[in-house]
Structure 1
Amino acid sequence: MPELPEVETVRRTLSQLVTGKTIQDVTVSLPRIIQRPDDIQQFRLELQGHTILEVGRRGKFLRIIMDGLVLVSHLRMEGRYGVYQSGEPVEKHTHVIFHFTDGSELRYKDVRQFGTMHLFYPGEEFTEKPLAKLGLEPLDEGFTFEAFKAAVASRKTKIKPALLNQEYVVGLGNIYVDEALFRAGIHPERICSELKTDELKRLYEAIVLTLTEAVEAGGSSIKSYVNGQGEMGMFQHSLQIYGRKSAPCVVCGTPVEKSVVGGRGTHFCPSCQVMKLKNNKKK
């Protein structure tokens, strides 16, 4: 599933490609992708005549902001957007097409068919599902160490599931949680409330650094991810721990291990990320 760096890369690409375009009509061939409104004809009619002002992001969700409407879109596992001319062949698994007045089209393709779209009036999207309960944005100015500490430090859960919980911090998925925990030298099964302040500070810094570098590299193309122009991300070439089971740790040479934490496959170095005793006192 695309994580924050991949969605941010798609946002930046689409912002260049569709800002200023006016929707003439919409074709929907897979109705269940449209979650709000539940009437496809209403979805089509409401969008007609609206111009895209900008493309935003909240966590792993895209926000296509128009003059009077906001479309919230989640790519899920394999959803992707692309801009085409109206005469170009439509690829298989293309489920939603936004036809623009200039003859171009924004097409949404989703092989797995798990993606979703919600249509709101501006501002309304933040008070309703799926954005209403999302947590801190890790690349925003408001993501300070104190805010991060307040969100996770008292939790009695393991740190990896806590970081994957979008109600605490948004945008982090399996890849970047593993990478950040490795950079911070923290075992993924450590309990949040047992982490020392200096460990939380290292983790906070690792999250920001990892995501910043990943965005600069255009995200990670582990499976099928491409941006809005069909280009692959390059951060997978910089991954230090994720996907490296049995390979030597880049720091100490110990073979990387893989286990299941919180139901997710998890990579870690048993030497660099030691599972410390529960009676460690916080500084």
Structure 2
Amino acid sequence: MPELPEVERATGVVRDVAVGKRIERVETVEDEIVFSGITHQEFATEIANRTVTGVGRHGKCFFLELDGHGRMPVLHFGMTGMLQVKGQLATYYKETPKSANTDWPPRFHKFILHLVDDATGEVAQLAFMDARRLGRVRLRRSPRTEPPISELGFDPILSMPLLEEFTPLVLKRSCPIKALLLDQSFSAGVGNWVADEILYNARIHPEQKCNTLSEEQLSALHHHTSDVCRIAVSVNADDSKFPEHWLFKHRWGKGKKEKHTLKLPSGEPATIKWITVGGRTSAYVSELQRAPKQSVRGEKKKRASRKTQKIEVVGDTESDLTALSDSEPDTVKNVRKRKASAKTSETPTSRKRRSRPSSSLTNPAASVT
């Protein structure tokens, strides 16, 4: 999934190609999933014949600022979203595949902006593509103050809090630190590889509980949350220019025969391991990122209790992130209270009546009409 550095690179593409140009017309493809809260025709009609005056970003969301009245596009790439300028290759996440081409219109495009500079006559076309349809295209009057951007946490590049503000935000949580970093309401723009890189450089195990971090660990976490994003953005998300000592350069060999070349500070080969934290595969170096023994024991007890404890799930789905609240959800508490109350209020007669088989099951001749 494109993360903060890749989305920042995309805003640069829009800035270079679109700012100062008028949207002469918009080609769209019907997609009720990607176009969120609007139809593709509404999107095209509302932004046509308006000039792009700027581009902004917060976390993994970016938006186009347009002149005149009306709403403005707010975009999210999801897992496979990307931009492509006519005549150029698309801006792929991680690496450009050999099959990439400049065919036009590109496959899986959701909209194409036809742009013109009224002063010079220069024209350009910019396409938004999304093969897996997990991206989102929205319209908002005030992108920075409306959802989804208004619901996001701090941006490590644009609004990194001071250490004294950052520390209590972390310590009040009891979830694994990797899960917290992935939560966009905490740190907007931090995704899987960025979170792993932050924790590797800070020498923190991804499963360590937030409220067990030491002052030294919190200081390192604060520094590298900002620093990893800053370095990646400074090279325009070009991973070939990332530092050689970064975990990113060596983490992609899971399940493959070739061996990585990451070294420990001592010069010995590092051991990269993978675990699932916060619903995502997490890479870490076992020699440098050690889980506190206390946390390991606590996790074993919790896993054992889960095997014997039955919890009713309320709602359609569960989040793939560890719960951030230290307390049990009220809905689950209420379910348990109702069950406990029902058990204590049962009489021996009612239990006997409830256990007696019904006639429709015992009598083969019984029928339902």
Alignment TM-score, normalising by the size of structure 2: 0.66
The one-letter code matched in structure 2 to 1:243 is W
Q: Which has the higher contact order (CA 8 A, sep 6+)?
A: 1
Task: Give 3-state SS (helix, strand or coil) of 1:193's partner.
Answer: helix
Query: Could you tell me which residue of structure 1 aligns to residue 132 of structure 2?
Result: 112
Match of residue 226 from structure 1: none
Structure 1: gaps spanning 5 or more residues: 222-232
1:7 to 2:7 alignment: yes
Structure 2 partner of 1:79: 81
Once the two structures are TM-superposed, the CA of residue 220 in structure 1 deviates from its matched residue by: 5.3
Equivalent residue number for residue 239 of structure 1: 246
**1:142 Cα shift?**
4.5
Tell me if the contact between 1:97 and 1:106 (Cα under 8 Å) persists in the aligned partners.
yes
> Following TM superposition, by how much is the alpha carbon of 1:179 offset from its aligned partner in structure 2, in angstroms?
0.8
Residue type of the partner of 1:250? K
1:156 corresponding residue in structure 2: 174
> What is the SS of the residue equivalent to 2:86?
strand
**More moved, 18-27 vs 244-253:** 244-253
Change beyond 3 A, Cα 1:131–1:141: closer
Q: Which residue in 2 is equivalent to 1:196? A: 214
Superposed displacement of residue 265, structure 1: 0.8
| Structure 2 residues not aligned, in runs of 5+ | 88-102, 118-122, 296-369
CA contact (8 A) 1:244 1:267 kept: no
Give runs of aligned pairs for residues 195-234 of structure 1, distance below 5 A: 195-219=213-237, 234=241
Matched residue, 2:106 = 91
Rate the CA distance shift 1:26–1:237 in 2: closer, same or farther, 3 A: farther
Q: Secondary structure at the match of 1:35?
A: coil
Amino acid at match of 1:35: S
Q: Which residue of 2 aligns with 1:44?
A: 44
From the CA coordinates, give the structure whose radius of gyration is larger. 2
User: Using the alignment, how far apart are the partners of 1:220 and 1:160 within structure 2?
Assistant: 24
Higher helix share: 2
- Check whether the contact 1:218–1:235 (CA below 8 A) recurs between aligned residues: no
Question: Who is 2:60 aligned against?
Answer: 60
Is the strand fraction higher in 1 or 2? 1
Gap change, CA 1:77 and 1:25, over 3 Å in 2: same
Shifted more, 240-249 versus 141-150: the winner is: 240-249
| 8 Å contact kept, 1:218–1:234 | no
Q: State how far apart, in whole Å, the 1-side matches of 2:177 and 2:195 are.
A: 9
> 2:140, 2:146 within 8 Å by CA — same for their partners in 1?
no
| Structure 1 segments (4+ residues) deviating >3 Å | 233-239, 244-249
1:35 corresponds in structure 2 to: 36
SS at match of 1:132: helix
1:268 aligns with 2:284: yes
Residue among 106, 115, 130 paired with 2:148: 130
When residues 58 and 141 of structure 1 are mapped into structure 2, their CA distance, relative to the original with a 3 A threshold, is: closer
Give the RMSD, CA atoms, in angstroms. 2.2
Q: Show CA shifts across 1:132-157 (max 9, x none).
A: 31001111255321232232221010
